[in-house]
Amino acid sequence: MNVTVVGSINLDLVASAPHLPAAGETVTGATLARHPGGKGANQALAAHKLGAEVLLIGRVGDDTMADEALALLEAFGVELSGVQTDVEAPTGVALIAVDPSGENQIVVAAGANHTITQEQLWARIETPLIVQLELPIAVVEAAVGRATEFVCANLAPAQPVSEQLLRRCDLIVVNEIEAAFYGDLLHRGGGRVVVTYGAAGAVMFQRGEEVARAAPPEVTAVDATGAGDAFVGAIVVALLEGLEPADALAFACTAGALAATKAGAQPSLPTRAEVEALLRA
C-alpha cells in the first residue's frame, strides 16, 4: 500500500526533567537528548514501519539539523524525494520537556516547515494522504484538495481549518484537547472522526454516532512523545488494509502505547511485529 504524507519535519531537543515547568519557572536537573521528530515525519515513519510504502513531502533547512532530522526516515527507507531544502530558513526544531511520568510540553519553532508552498505539491495526490497542521494551513488545504483517494487529517496542533477540509476527510484524528477546540467536530467531519484519550484509549464516531472504541494495553509510559503519531500511522494502515473499526482502533491504540514506552518520537515507533505481539498477548 502506498501512502503520501504532507507534513512537518523537526529535530526534537528533549529535556527529561524532574517536573514540567510552570509559567515563569526554571526547572534544573534535566538531561538533554536529540531525536528526529515532527508530526509529519513521525507519522510517515510510523506508517512505513507498519507496512506502508511512504512518500514524505516536506521541507528542511540547509543545515546539519536536517541530517539529524532525516536520519531515521532514511535508514528505514521512507521515500524522501518530496523533501526540499530551504537555503534560508533553518530546519524546524521542537523544544520538548518530559517529566518522569512521560507527560510532555512542546514548543515548536517551525523554520523551514513554514516556508513550504503549494508549488512543492504534486498537481494530484493519487495515493491515500495523511496531513497534520504543522505546515501553513493553505498548503495543508491545497494538499487535501488535490487528493483523489483516502484522506486522513490529524488536526494537531489545533487551529482553524475550513469546513471544506473537514468535509473532505475520510478520517479525522484528534486528541481530547483538540476535540474541545473544534467543538461540534463530531458532526462536521465528512467521514469518521477518532478522538484519542491517551491511556484511556480512543473512540470512533461517524455522523456523531459512536461506531467503535478500544483501550490500549497497560504499559509503563516513559515518554508519550510520538504516541499520537504512532496512532495516526497505525489507524491509517489498518483501515486501508480493511480492518473493522474496532480492530483498527485496537491496532492503533497498541501502536500508540508502545511508542509511549520508549524515549523520543521516531526512536519509539513500533514495528508491525511488536504491535502484533502485544495485541496477541
In the complex, which residues of this chain contact ligand RIB (CB under 6 A)? Answer: 8, 10, 12, 37-39, 42, 94, 106, 108, 134, 225-226, 228-229, 265
12 binds, among Na ion, ligand RIB, none (CB under 5 to 8 A by kind): ligand RIB
- Smallest gap, in angstroms, from Cβ of residue 125 to Na ion? 29
According to DSSP, the residues that pair with 215 across neighbouring strands are none
Residue nearest to ligand RIB (CB): 37
In whole angstroms, give the CA distance from residue 156 to residue 179: 10
In whole angstroms, give the CA distance from residue 14 to residue 12: 6
Using an 8 Å Cβ cutoff, are 41 and 57 in contact? no
Query: In the structure grid, which three cell numbers stand for residue 8, read together?
Result: 512537518
* 135 annotated among ligand-binding-site residues: no
Which one from 67, 170, 229, 247 is the annotated catalytic residue? Answer: 229
Q: Active-site residue 62, yes or no?
A: no
- Please list the alpha-helical segments (H only) found in 4-136: 39-49, 64-76
In whole angstroms, give the CA distance from residue 158 to residue 171: 16
Using an 8 Å Cβ cutoff, are 71 and 48 in contact? no
* 40 annotated among ligand-binding-site residues: yes
Nearer to Na ion among residue 10 and residue 120 (C-beta): 10
- Smallest gap, in angstroms, from Cβ of residue 94 to ligand RIB? 3
Q: Which residues are catalytic?
A: 229
Question: Annotated binding residues for ATP, as ranges?
Answer: 175, 196-201, 228-229
Question: Annotated binding residues for K(+), as ranges?
Answer: 223, 225, 259, 262, 264, 268
